[in-house]
Amino acid sequence: MTDAIVAEAVVKTYGAVRALDGIDLRVPEGTVLGLLGPNGAGKTTCVRILTTLLKPDTGTVRVHGIDVLAQPQRVREFIGLSGQNAAIDEHLTGFENLEMIGRLYHIGAKKARQRAHDLLERFDLTDAANRPAKTYSGGMRRRLDLAGALVTSPPVIFLDEPTTGLDPRSRIGMWEIIDERVRSGATLLLTTQYLEEADKLCDNVMVIDHGRSIAEGTPDDLKRQVGGERVEVVLAERSTLDLASGVLKEVTGEPPAVDESELRLTAPATNGAKTLIEAVRRLDQAGVEMSDIGIHRATLDDVFLALTGQAVTEDEPAAAPEGRREGKKR
Partner 1 sequence: MTALTLAFTDGWVVTKRNLIKIKRIPDLLIFSTIQPIMFVVLFAYVFGGAIAIPGVNYKEYLMAGIFTQTVMFGAGITAIGLADDMQKGIIDRFRSLPMSRSAVLVGRTTSDLLNNILVLIIMVICGLLVGWRTHTSPPEVAAGFLLLLAFGYAMSWVMAVIGLSVRSVEVAQTAGFIWMFPVTFLSNAFIATDTLPSWLQPIAEWNPFSSVVLALRDLWGNAPEGLARGDGFPADHPIQLSVLWIAGLLVVFIPFAISRYRRAAGR
Residue 104 in the binding site for partner 1 (CB under 8 A): yes
Stretch that binds partner 1, among 239-247, 264-272, 306-314, 319-327 (CB under 8 A): 319-327
d(CA 19, CA 48): 12
Angle between helices 273-285 and 241-252 in degrees, nearest 10:
140
Q: Which of residues 65-84 bind partner 1 (CB under 8 A)?
A: 73-74, 76-77, 79, 81, 83
∠202-53-324 over CA atoms, to 5°?
95
Residue 94 in the binding site for partner 1 (CB under 8 A): no
Compute CA 231 distance to the chain's CA centroid, rounded to the nearest angstrom.
Answer: 25
Query: Cβ contacts of residue 42 below 8 Å, gap of 6+?
Result: 12, 19, 20, 21, 23, 208, 210, 211, 212, 318
Q: Is the dihedral of CA 314, 316, 322, 328 positive or negative?
A: positive
According to CB under 8 A, which one of 110, 183, 238, 325 is a site residue for partner 1?
Answer: 325
Residue 55 in the binding site for partner 1 (CB under 8 A): yes
Nearer to partner 1, 40 or 256 (CB): 40
Nearer to partner 1, 52 or 266 (CB): 52
Residue 58 in the binding site for partner 1 (CB under 8 A): no
Strand partners, 18: 13
Nearer to partner 1, 110 or 169 (CB): 110
Amino acid at 201: L
Query: Cβ contacts of residue 62 below 8 Å, gap of 6+?
Result: 3, 5, 6, 7, 68
Max CA pair span of the chain: 75
Residue 296 in the binding site for partner 1 (CB under 8 A): no
According to CB under 8 A, which one of 20, 41, 61, 88 is a site residue for partner 1?
Answer: 88
Residue 162 in the binding site for partner 1 (CB under 8 A): no
Give the count of beta carbons closer than 10 Å to the beta carbon of residue 177. Answer: 16
According to CB under 8 A, which one of 105, 164, 177, 323 is a site residue for partner 1?
Answer: 105
Least Å distance, CB 252 to partner 1, is: 48
The DSSP secondary-structure symbol of 246 reads: H
Least Å distance, CB 98 to partner 1, is: 11
Number of residues binding to partner 1, judged by CB under 8 A: 36
Least Å distance, CB 197 to partner 1, is: 21
> What is the contact surface with partner 1 in residues (CB under 8 A)?
48, 51-55, 73-74, 76-77, 79, 81, 83, 85-89, 91-92, 96, 100-101, 103-106, 132, 145, 148, 324-329
